């Protein structure tokens, strides 16, 4: 990836969710978490690196005390297709007897979130919740479902708001999709929860193998 290539990718991409609707989804998730976890003093674990933007903007919207840490398990790397997972920072014993909230950018196939959730529970967590900014709709069975979801996205390769494309553009305030469907994805429009209005101008209606930590 170089500067010219990164800019070409963005120029050729399709805007799926503009910044104001990203923020509406963010605040929706924060309200739901506040309603559900305000009395639990949870340990919030951000799943790096995709959750860096989502978790950074979510935490100031939570109105209760919490502890914060992170885990890092890589699945995509710089490739546009999913690959083997590798632990970089795994959960530790600080989760024992805690209510844990996992925060991730997107629930795609679900293997990454399932691996983290299984490890957290195996270390003695009292309960484990998960919040994802986006849930991708691809019609395949997922090993885990998120408790809190900002919005739903079509089965396309998306980037922005923490999600990267070949390592770039995590910093975008909106969500884009590549127009070339080289991953065999569909082309349906984004589906957003009923309390978030999106894309009026388009006139559209809107347990597999789990990884153990490396030694």
If you write DSSP's letter for every residue of the chain in order, what string do you get? --HHHHHHHHHHSEEEE-HHHHHHHHHHHHHHHHHHHTTS-PEEEEEETTTHHHHHHHGGG--S--EEEEEEEESSTT-SS----EEEE---GGGTT-EEEEEEEEESSSHHHHHHHHHHHHTT-SEEEEEEEEEE--SS--S---SEEEEEE-SS-EEBTTB-BTTB-TT-SSEEE-SS-TT----PPPB--TTS---GGGT-------PPPP-
Q: Among all chains, which residue has been given the structure tokens 């104001």? A: 20
pLDDT tens, the chain, 215 aa long: 899 999 999 999 999 999 999 999 999 999 999 999 999 999 999 999 889 999 999 999 999 999 999 999 876 544 444 456 777 888 887 899 999 999 999 998 888 899 899 999 999 999 999 999 999 988 888 889 999 999 999 999 999 999 999 889 999 999 999 985 544 343 323 333 334 333 333 333 333 323 333 33
**What residues does each domain of the chain span?**
3-202
Q: What is residue 191's predicted lDDT score, i.e. its pLDDT?
A: 38
Distance CA 52, CA 46 (A): 7
What CATH number matches the domain at 3-202, 3.40.50.460, 3.40.50.2020, 3.40.50.300, 1.10.10.10?
Answer: 3.40.50.2020
Distance CA 56, CA 188 (A): 29
- CB proximity list for 116: less than 8 A, separation 6 or greater: 45, 47, 71, 73, 91, 102
Q: What is residue 187's predicted lDDT score, i.e. its pLDDT?
A: 31
Q: Among all chains, which residue has been given the structure tokens 């996205």? A: 153
Q: What is residue 183's predicted lDDT score, i.e. its pLDDT?
A: 40
Q: What is residue 1's predicted lDDT score, i.e. its pLDDT?
A: 87
Residue 111: how many other CB atoms lie within 10 Å: 20
Q: What is residue 84's predicted lDDT score, i.e. its pLDDT?
A: 65
The candidate with the shortest Cα–Cα distance to 142, out of 116, 119, 110, 118, is: 110
Q: 210 phi and psi, to 5 degrees?
A: -110, 140
Tokens of residue 198, six digits: 């999106």
Q: Which residues pair with 102 in a beta bridge?
A: 45, 130
């Amino acid at each position: 990836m170089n500067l010219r290539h990164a800019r070409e990718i963005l120029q050729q991409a399709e805007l799926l969710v503009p910044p104001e609707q990203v923020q509406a989804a963010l605040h929706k998730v924060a309200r739901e978490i506040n309603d559900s976890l305000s009395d639990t003093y949870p340990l919030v674990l951000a799943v790096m690196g995709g959750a860096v933007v989502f978790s950074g903007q979510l935490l100031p919207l939570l109105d209760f005390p919490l502890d914060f840490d992170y885990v890092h398990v890589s699945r995509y790397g710089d490739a546009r297709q999913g690959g083997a997972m590798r632990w970089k920072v795994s959960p530790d014993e600080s989760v024992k007897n805690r209510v844990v909230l996992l925060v991730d950018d997107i629930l795609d196939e679900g293997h990454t979130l399932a691996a983290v959730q299984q490890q957290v529970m195996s270390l003695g967590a009292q309960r484990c919740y998960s919040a994802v900014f986006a849930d991708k709709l691809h019609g395949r069975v997922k090993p885990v479902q998120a408790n809190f979801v900002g919005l739903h996205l079509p089965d396309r390769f998306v980037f922005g708001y923490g999600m990267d494309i070949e390592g770039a553009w995590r910093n975008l305030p909106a969500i884009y999709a590549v127009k070339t469907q080289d991953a065999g994805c569909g082309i349906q429009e984004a589906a957003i929860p009923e309390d978030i209005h999106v894309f009026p101008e388009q006139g559209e209606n809107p347990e597999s193998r789990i990884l153990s930590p490396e030694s």
